[in-house]
Structure 1
Amino acid sequence: MSDHNDPQITSDWGDWLPRTIEAAEPDGVALWYLGCNGFVLKGSDETSVWIDPYVGLGDPPRTVRMIPVPFDPHDVYDADAVLATHEHTDHTHGPSQAPILANTGAPFYAADDSLAVTDDEGWTEHWDVEADQLHEIEEGDSFSVGGFDIDVVRVNDADATHPVGYVIQYGDTTVFHGGDTKPHDGFAEVGERYDVDLAVVAFGSVGRVPDKETREPQRTRWYSDENQAVEIAEALRADRMLPSHWDMWKGLTADPTALHEHARGFDYPERLEIVEIGDRVDV
């Protein structure tokens, strides 16, 4: 949600995380949490899909990053696609994503307003990114990356101008990533159509964030609260829910373990996956 383009990115962790992902040989699908709403999915065919990787520092003092920078994107040499869910800086960000595209030649999939960011930031001018790597997608589209079949679905993020979500299938495994979505009437249909094994749901508290223009503190809700997060997972009939984004911005952080009490009275999700930045989950 921040709006600052970091001129230089320095990882707190060196290159061990991209090297770990690169060396992994999952039996089915493995997923790594990059913090914020970033993830890497890797299949047994060694195809890796990166979603919303962001290693920027935000826009202090408006948005202050609360977690380490887990990798330098110049150290990423193993990516078969990069996906963006919407146009906000912590989801579409040249310094975080363009070096990955330049290193790997991977395609970048995003909706029109996210691609507008690539124009504004000059990805093809300032990084070694080719125009034919940038692919516009919209709700209802489908595409494949190696063994991953990816459907683009409608989501509900009123703070974004054109958000999209992804249903990602790899054999019998299905992962949903909705960006920063809140509950949406269409998720029940998604739950009926797909057998969702894992739903990534952006979760956070309500806080006071300085307005972008006036810098006056404003009551801000960017992510689903406990009840909304469970409502999304229930509509999707997700076996597991993985809360994301709760770790990122000062004043909007939350306790993901609180979701246990909210989820226990519902059939879905059957299980919560509580992870920290850098953790791996086998789906």
Structure 2
Amino acid sequence: MITSDWGEWLVRAIEDADPDGVAVWYFGCNGFALKGSEGTTVFIDPYLGTGSPPRTIRMIPVPFDPTDVTNADAVLATHEHTDHVDGPSQAPILETTGATMYGPDDSLAVTREEGWTDEWDVTDDQFEEVSEGDTLEIGEFTVHVEPASDVDATHPVSYVIEHEAGTFFHGGDSKPAEEFERIGTEYDVDLGVLAFGTVGNVPDKETGEPKRTRWYNDENQIIEAANTLQLETLCPSHWDMWKGLTADPKALYHHTNSFEYPTTLEIIEIGDRVDL
């Protein structure tokens, strides 16, 4: 059972919020929640685990206990990695709220392999497979499933979430992708999330020996992706999470200066809220 370092205040803040347009909260790692003016609430990649020490060591608080979530319409998964699809983090949200989980085939395969429907009170009809090109209507949000480029994942996707107040993009752990130019032209993205981190040493899964590891965009890659996507505002994520791969997003101010996009760099920390 997951126990939060912070108690219930963050989930209560989300549930009590009454945004004029869309409010966005950051959970650390690559987790976010979006809440619209009509109350529709969508979680994206919420991960509340501590990793697998000593290989992956969580460097930030666990912001909430998933059993405390009482209002959610959907959980979106970008790809199958543990810090994006995790039974103890997400199944209790589905159980308590009756929300639907959307994800590509390999993400939903994890839920079956881990036996979510056996261990928690969730049903098969709470899982819906998506693929690139799909469009979902979730309450007041229109969600477009788009491609992503993550060589460490077997089937990653990104999401473009449209609302009358603005458009939000979540790239998962994607690095620059060929399709980003089309996405940038097709959508007018107000706020975009891209994973950022250093290249560092992480113990190898098999040997335990330190191994040079690049899981996320470096300074140049994240600005290349943001510029191609024509992001009005770039919000770096994932930089806070794993020991050995943490980064300083303030360094990105220097990298944005000579590019047309992103227009604004929005640096947020775990628990912060921004609005579209």
TM range (shorter): over 0.9
Query: 1:14 is matched by which residue type in structure 2?
Result: G
The reply to whether residue 164 of structure 1 matches residue 157 of structure 2 is: yes
1:39-97 Cα distance to aligned partner (Å, 9 max, x none): 00000011010000000000000000000000000000011100000000000000000
The reply to whether residue 75 of structure 1 matches residue 68 of structure 2 is: yes
Q: What secondary structure is seen at the aligned counterpart in 1 of 2:27? A: strand
Q: Aligned equivalents of 2:33 and 2:270: distance in 1? A: 12
Q: What secondary structure is seen at the aligned counterpart in 1 of 2:108? A: helix
Q: Which of 179, 190, 193 is the equivalent residue of 2:172?
A: 179
Partner residue, 2:16: 23
Partner residue, 1:4: none
Q: Is the 8 A contact 2:196 2:219 kept in 1?
A: yes
Q: Which of 12, 16, 38 is the equivalent residue of 2:5?
A: 12
- Same amino acid, percent of matched pairs: 65
The reply to whether residue 63 of structure 1 matches residue 47 of structure 2 is: no
Query: 1:206 is matched by which residue type in structure 2?
Result: V
Partner residue, 1:233: 226
The reply to whether residue 43 of structure 1 matches residue 36 of structure 2 is: yes
Partner residue, 2:99: 106
Partner residue, 1:255: 248
TM-fit CA distance, 1:10: 1.0
Query: 2:7 is matched by which residue type in structure 1?
Result: G
Q: What secondary structure is seen at the aligned counterpart in 1 of 2:168? A: strand
TM-fit CA distance, 1:16: 0.4
Query: 1:128 is matched by which residue type in structure 2?
Result: D
Q: Is the 8 A contact 2:22 2:165 kept in 1?
A: no
TM-fit CA distance, 1:241: 0.2
Query: 1:149 is matched by which residue type in structure 2?
Result: T
Q: Which of 168, 188, 195 is the equivalent residue of 1:202?
A: 195
Query: 1:174 is matched by which residue type in structure 2?
Result: T
TM-fit CA distance, 1:172: 4.5
List structure 1 runs of 4+ shifted beyond 3 angstroms: none
Query: 2:171 is matched by which residue type in structure 1?
Result: G
Query: 2:136 is matched by which residue type in structure 1?
Result: F
RMSD over aligned Cα, in angstroms?
Answer: 0.6
The reply to whether residue 271 of structure 1 matches residue 264 of structure 2 is: yes
Partner residue, 1:218: 211
Structure 2 residues not aligned, in runs of 5+:
none
Q: Aligned equivalents of 2:141 and 2:6: distance in 1? A: 29
Structure 1 residues not aligned, in runs of 5+:
1-7
1:185-243 Cα distance to aligned partner (Å, 9 max, x none): 11010010000101101000000111112212110000000111111110011100000
Partner residue, 2:85: 92
The reply to whether residue 282 of structure 1 matches residue 275 of structure 2 is: yes
How many residue pairs match? The answer is: 276
